[in-house]
Amino acid sequence: MPKNQSTAAQSARRASRSGEKYTEVLRRAKAGDAPHAPHVLRFLAERSGNLHYLVGGIAASWAHSGQRVLLLEEAEDYWRWSMSGVGRSRSRRKKAIEPATPPEPTTSTLWASPDGPGLLVHHTCMWEVRHPSGESDRGLPRTDRSPLTAAVADALDAYEVIVLLPRYWSYPDRENATAHVVIGEIDIFPHTDCRTALPGPRGEEMGVPLSPEQSAAVLRERCLGFLFGSPHLPIHLDGVIWQSNGELPVDEDYLAGVDRDMNRAGLRPLGWAISERWPSPHRELPEPDRLKDLSFVQRYQPIAKHLRTALDSRPARRN
C-alpha cells in the first residue's frame, strides 16, 4: 500500500477490492464530518432458521469494506437449562439434581483484514439469567436480561455495528437495539392470483397475473403479518429485506414496482436476495472460508450498502 495515505484513502482502497468503487467510498468517507455512533441492529422475522446465511453475508460485506462488526448471538435457550428437572417423574425427583450450569461465553474471529480495520467477530453468550426474586405471578422463573445489556455495553467502543442474533426473531428489543429491520422470507413469489390443477398432460394452469402493487400487498400479508398482530407497542422499522427460497419468476422492473409500493406503505426497501443454499443449514452462519470469498461477499454488497445508509441516516435515538 502506498505510504502517507490518509485513513479514508486506505479504507477506500480496501473497499474497492470487494467490488465497491474507490472514488465513491472515498467521497463518503470525506463527507462525514463526525463518526456515527455504533449501531445495535436487530433483525425481525417470523422464522429465522434459513436467514443466518443472509445475515452473515451482510456482516461480511461490511467487514470487507473496513468496518468492525460483531455478531452477538444468544447461547443455548435459557429455559432448557434453567427449567431442568421440571416435569420429571417423582422417582427421579427423589435423587439430588445438580443445578444446571449455563454455557460459557465463546468468541471467534470469522474474518479479519490483513492490512486494515475490517473485522467480523462472532460472540455467543447467555442473554438472560434467573432473577433472584424467585417466581413470577404465573409460576415461571423471573428472568434478568442484564447479561445482554452488559455484553452490548462492552462492545460499543470496539465495534461500529453490533448485530443481535436471538433465538427467536419475531419480537423487537426496545432495551438494547437502536435499529430494527424486517426480513421477509418468500417460499413462492405471488406473481399470479392462483394456480388451477387440471387433468391431462398440461398439469397446472397459470392464474391471472398480479400487478406489482397487488404482489406487494400479498407479500405484506404473508411475510409480515406477524408484525401487525403483535400486542407490543408500535416500533420504528428501518427497512425490509426480502429473501426468496427459489428463483424469482419476475424481472427487475417488476421488483422495482413492488419496492415502490412497499415504500408507499412505509417499508423502506433495502434489497432482494436469493437463498444460496436451500434448505440452508439451520441457524448456521457461513463458514469462515466462505466469508473470505469475494464472490460470496459481493453478492450481499448492494443490500449491505443500502442497509448501512439507512442506519446512518436514522435519528440518534433508541426504539
pLDDT for 193-227, tens place per residue?
876 666 666 656 667 899 999 999 999 998 888 88
Higher pLDDT, residue 186 or 139: 186
Long-range contacts of residues 252-257, Cβ cutoff 8 Å, at least 24 apart:
254/191, 254/212, 254/215, 255/212, 256/212, 257/211, 257/212, 257/213, 257/216
Segments making up each domain of the chain, as ranges? 38-84+103-313
Q: Considering the chain, what is the average pLDDT of its residues? A: 81
Cell digits of residue 214: 397487488
User: What is the C-alpha separation between 192 and 21, in angstroms, rounded?
Assistant: 38
- Which numeric CATH code is attached to 38-84+103-313? 3.40.50
- Express each pLDDT in 126-162 by its tens digit: 998 776 555 555 566 677 889 999 999 999 999 999 9
What pLDDT does residue 27 have? 62
Question: Which residues touch 3 (CB under 8 Å, ≥6 apart)?
Answer: none
Position 163 confidence tier, pLDDT thresholds 50, 70, 90: very high
> What is the 3-class SS of 51-89, one letter each residue?
CHHHHHHHHHHHHHCCCEEEEEEECCCHHHHHCCCCCCC
How many Å apart are CA 219 and CA 229, to the nearest integer? 15
Helix (H, G, I), strand (E, B) or coil at 290: helix
- Give residue 90's pLDDT: 47
pLDDT of residue 144: 81
Q: What tens digit of pLDDT does each residue of 252-283 get?
A: 999 999 999 999 999 999 999 998 765 666 77
Q: Please say if the pLDDT value at position 98 is more than 80.
A: no
Residue 32 has pLDDT above 70, yes or no: no
pTM: 0.79
- Residue 227 has a pLDDT of 82
Sign for the pseudo-dihedral over CA of 126, 49, 269, 293: positive
Burial 286-312 (b: 16+ CB within 10 A, else e): beeebbeeeebbbbbbebbbbbbebbe
Least confident of 27-41, 47-61, 146-160: 27-41
Q: What pLDDT, on the 0 to 100 scale, is given for residue 2?
A: 45
| Most confident range, picked from 20-24, 234-238, 268-272 | 268-272
Neighbours of 22 (CB within 10 A): 14
